[in-house]
C-alpha cells in the first residue's frame, strides 16, 4: 500500500509536534510519524524533574496557545514559571495532551527507511507501508546519539548499559549500581536509584560536582548582570536565545565550539541532598580497566593519575552523554547520506533548516551546530517551528526539489 503527502515529519517529540501544530494552519498536507514524546516516556528515568524551568518547558502553537502553565491549570497541578521543578510525568502528559489537541492526525508508526526517487522522498514505515512526500523534516531527537566510551563498550551487555536505556528503576532496588559520568544525567540518575532503594556510586572525571544553585530572589543588579533566559542565566545564554540567526553567521569552528561547551554538565539542585547523604561519589576518576566475573562487573579507576580504586557492581551505567553523528540515523538511505554536506558528522543547513539534499530538513539537536545551543532544548522549538513553517508555506508551490538551498559560508 502507498500514499502521498506534501510534508512528512519524522519524530513526535517537542520539535516535531510544535512544527506540526504550526503547519496545521497552512493548508499543506502534513503527516507526522512516531510515538508522542517517546524519548521522554521511555529513555529518561522515572521520578526525574526537568532542568528547564516551567516557562521554558512548553510545546509551541503559533498563537502561543496551550502552554505548560495552561495544562497545569486545567489539571489542578502546581506550576510556577520558575523555581518549581517540572516533574517528567507532568511534561510527558502535557506533551500527549498537546498532541491530541493540535496534532490529532499523528501516525504512531516508526519510519524504518527514508530514500529519494526522481519525484519524491520515499518513506518506509514499520509495517512496510510506503508513503511518498515532497518534503521531509527529520525531528528525531537525541535517541540515536547516545555515546559510550570505548573502555566501557567492552563490557556492554546485561551488566553494563547506557543511561538512556533506563526509565523504570525498580530493577536496581537493593543492587550495587555504578554510574559513570558526573554530569547531570549521571548524578541525577544515581540520586533516583538511591531514592528507589539501590546503592549507587557515581564516578566523575572532574574533581568536584558543581550542582546548579536553588532558585533565589535576585536583585535588579544581579538580573542585569546575569539575565534569566530559557537556557538559564547569563548574557551568553541571552545571546543564544535572542540571536540564533546571528549565531548562524559565525564561523563554523566557533559555532561548534560554543555548542560543545555552553551549558556544561551541572546537575540540578533538587538531587543534591540525596547525593550528599546517600550516594558514594568518586572524583578525579578515569576508567583504567573493566572486567566481568560471573554476575559482577568490575571497573578499576585511576584516581587523579596517581592511585587506583576498583568498584564491583551488579550493574554499570554509562551516563556519558550524547554525540550527534548523522550516520547513526540508520533509517536514512546511504544514497541520501552521501549527498548530505556535513561538518563533524552534523548536517550543514541552510538558514531555513534545509540540508544540501533539497527538500530534506533537520530540527532539534542535529541543527544545533548551525543555530546554537538553543536547538538542544525544547525551548528552541518555538524559534524553529516559526521559522521553518513559514518557509515551508511560502515555498509550497515551487517544490523545493528543484531549488538548491543556500548556505552560510563554512
Ligand atoms: C536526561 C535528559 C534530561 C533532559 N532534560 C531536559 C529539560 O529539562 N529541558 C529541555 O528542554 N531539554 C531537556 N533535555 C533535552 C531533550 O532531549 C530535548 O529538549 C528535546 O527532547 C528536544 O526535542 P526533540 O523533538 O528534538 O527530540 P525528542 O524529544 O527526542 O523527540 C524525537 C522523537 O523522534 C522519534 N523518532 C526518532 N526516530 C524516529 C523514526 N525513525 N520514526 C519515528 N519516530 C522517530 C523518537 O522516538 C522521539 O520521540 C534532556 C535530555 C536528557 C537526555
pLDDT in tens, 67-94: 999 999 999 999 999 989 999 999 999 9
Residues 6+ apart with CB under 8 A from 319: 162, 163, 179, 180, 181, 183, 185, 186, 189
Coil, helix or strand at residue 8: strand
Same-domain status, 329 and 292: no
C-alpha cell at 120: 519524491
Residues 207, 339, single domain; the answer is no
Ligand 1 close to Cβ of residue 58 (< 6 A): no
Phi-psi label, residue 290: left if phi above 0, alpha if psi -120 to 50, beta otherwise: beta
Give percent of the chain with pLDDT exceeding 90. Answer: 81
Phi, psi of 35 (to 5 degrees): -80, 135
Q: Which pLDDT band, with edges at 50, 70 and 90, does 401 fall under?
A: very low
CATH of the domain at 66: 3.50.50.60
The mean pLDDT value of the chain amounts to 93
Beta bridge partner(s), residue 111: 125
Is 247 contained in some domain?
no
Q: Residue 398 — very low, low, confident or very high, per pLDDT cuts 50/70/90?
A: low
Judgement on whether residues 16 and 105 belong to the same structural domain of the protein: yes
Give the chain's radius of gyration (CA, Å).
Answer: 22
Mutation test of ligand 1: which of 108, 140, 267 has the most ligand atoms closer than 8 Å to its C-beta?
A: 140
Segment 182-210 shows an average pLDDT of: 95
* Cβ-proximal residues to 247 (8 Å cutoff; 6+ apart), any chain: 239, 240, 255, 258, 371, 372
Q: Which domain holds residue 293?
A: 150-211+266-318
Query: Could you tell me whether strands 176-180 and 315-318 are parallel, antiparallel, or unpaired per DSSP bridges?
Result: parallel
The rounded Å distance from CA 365 to ligand 1 centre is 9
SS3 256: helix
In this structure, are 30 and 98 located in the same domain? Answer: yes
Q: Are residues 19 and 75 in the same domain?
A: yes
Q: Which of 248, 256, 236 is nearest to 354 (CA)?
A: 248
- Domain boundary (301, 318, 335) is at 318
Q: Report yes or no on 221 lying in a domain.
A: no
Q: Kindly indicate the confidence band of residue 400, based on its pLDDT and cuts at 50, 70 and 90.
A: very low
Confidence of residue 225 (pLDDT cuts 50, 70, 90): confident
What is the pTM for the complete model shown? 0.94
- Please compute the mean of the pLDDT values over residues 140-156 and round it to a whole number: 93
Tell me, using a 6 A CB cutoff, whether residue 141 lines ligand 1: yes
Span 293-307, mean pLDDT? 92
Number of domains making up the chain: 2
Amino acid at each position: 500500500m502507498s500514499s502521498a503527502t506534501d510534508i512528512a515529519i519524522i519524530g513526535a517529540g517537542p520539535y516535531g509536534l510544535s512544527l506540526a501544530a504550526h503547519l496545521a494552519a497552512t493548508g499543506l498536507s502534513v503527516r507526522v510519524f512516531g510515538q508522542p514524546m517517546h524519548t521522554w516516556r521511555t529513555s529518561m528515568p522515572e521520578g526525574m524533574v526537568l532542568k528547564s524551568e516551567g516557562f521554558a518547558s512548553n510545546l509551541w502553537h503559533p498563537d502561543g496557545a496551550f502552554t505548560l502553565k495552561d495544562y497545569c491549570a486545567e489539571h489542578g497541578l502546581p506550576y510556577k514559571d520558575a523555581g518549581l521543578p517540572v516533574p517528567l510525568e507532568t511534561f510527558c502528559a502535557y506533551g500527549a495532551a498537546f498532541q491530541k489537541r493540535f496534532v490529532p492526525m499523528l501516525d504512531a508508526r516508526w519510519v524504518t527507511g527514508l530514500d529519494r526517487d526522481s519525484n519524491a522522498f520515499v518513506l518506509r514505515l514499520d509495517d512496510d507501508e510506503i508513503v511518498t512526500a515532497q518534503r521531509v523534516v527529520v525531528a528525531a531527537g537525541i535517541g540515536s546519539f547516545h555515546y559510550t566510551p570505548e573502555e566501557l563498550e567492552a563490557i556492554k551487555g546485561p551488566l553494563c548499559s547506557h543511561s538512556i536505556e533506563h526509565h523504570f528503576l525498580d530493577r536496581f532496588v537493593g543492587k550495587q549500581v555504578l554510574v559513570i559520568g558526573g554530569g547531570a544525567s549521571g548524578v541525577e540518575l544515581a540520586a533516583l536509584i538511591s531514592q528507589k532503594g539501590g546503592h549507587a556510586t557515581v564516578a566523575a572525571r572532574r574533581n568536584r560536582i558543581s550542582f546548579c544553585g536553588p532558585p533565589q530572589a535576585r536583585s535588579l543588579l544581579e538580573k542585569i548582570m546575569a539575565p534569566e533566559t530559557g537556557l538559564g542565566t547569563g548574557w551568553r545564554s541571552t545571546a543564544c536565545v535572542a540571536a540564533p540567526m546571528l549565531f548562524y553567521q559565525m564561523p563554523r569552528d566557533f559555532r561548534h565550539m560554543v555548542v560543545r561547551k555552553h551549558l556544561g554538565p551541572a546537575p540540578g539542585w533538587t538531587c543534591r541532598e540525596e547525593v550528599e547523604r546517600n550516594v558514594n561519589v568518586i572524583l578525579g576518576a578515569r576508567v583504567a580497566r573493566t572486567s566481568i566475573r560471573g554476575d559482577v562487573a568490575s571497573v578499576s579507576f585511576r584516581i587523579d593519575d596517581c592511585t587506583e580504586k576498583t568498584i564491583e557492581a551488579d550493574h554499570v551505567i554509562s551516563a556519558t552523554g550524547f554525540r550527534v553523528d548523522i550516520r547513526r540515523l540508520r533509517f536514512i538511505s546511504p544514497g541520501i547520506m552521501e549527498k548530505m554536506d556535513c561538518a563533524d558528522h552534523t548536517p550543514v543547513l541552510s538558514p531555513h533548516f534545509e540540508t544540501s539534499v533539497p527538500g530534506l530538513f533537520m530540527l532539534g539537536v542535529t541543527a544545533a551546530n548551525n543555530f546554537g545551543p538553543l536547538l538542544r532544548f525544547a525551548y528552541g522549538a518555538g524559534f524553529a517551528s516559526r521559522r521553518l513553517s513559514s518557509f515551508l508555506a511560502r515555498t509550497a508551490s515551487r517544490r523545493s526539489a528543484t531549488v538548491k538551498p543556500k548556505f552560510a559560508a563554512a
